[in-house]
Amino acid sequence: MQQIGCYAKSEMIGHVETHPDVPFLATGDGKTKLTSENILAGPDFAAYERSDDWCATAYFYLNSPVDDLPAIEPYEKRMVGIVSESR
């Protein structure tokens, strides 16, 4: 789930410099990491992609203890194209 945040240039520069391990991403391609330089070159207020941890849970009830569902795929196969390698 994509989540967008908004920042003030003066506050975000300090945050990026004091938290170099956090991948703050510019909105757009999902790959451009915010740096002090590209924040300074941009507008006073801008959006960025947040990396909050989201999850979803679905509950359902079966009318019997058996089903015809296939076995769930391994985690690595299910995450192809979803989880970025750079994060």
Residue 85 belongs to some domain of the structure: no
* More confident of the two residues 17 and 87: 17
**pLDDT score of 1 more than 70:** no
Q: Is residue 83 part of a domain?
A: no
- Residue 69, domain member (yes or no): yes
Q: For position 63, what pLDDT does the model report?
A: 77
Residue 72 lies in a domain: yes
Say if 34 falls within a structural domain. yes
Domains contained in the chain, number: 1
Give pLDDT tens digits for 6-53: 888 888 888 888 888 877 777 777 778 888 888 888 888 888 877 665
Quote the tokens at residue 3.
Answer: 């989540």
What pLDDT score was predicted for residue 28? 76
- Average pLDDT on 42-67 reads 76
d(CA 42, CA 32): 13
Q: What's the pTM?
A: 0.47
Residue 87 lies in a domain: no
CA–CA distances in Å: residue 85 to residues 3, 11, 53: 18, 28, 16
Domain carrying residue 68 = 4-78
Helices within 1-87 (DSSP H only):
9-18, 36-40, 75-78
The answer to whether residue 20 sits within a structural domain is yes
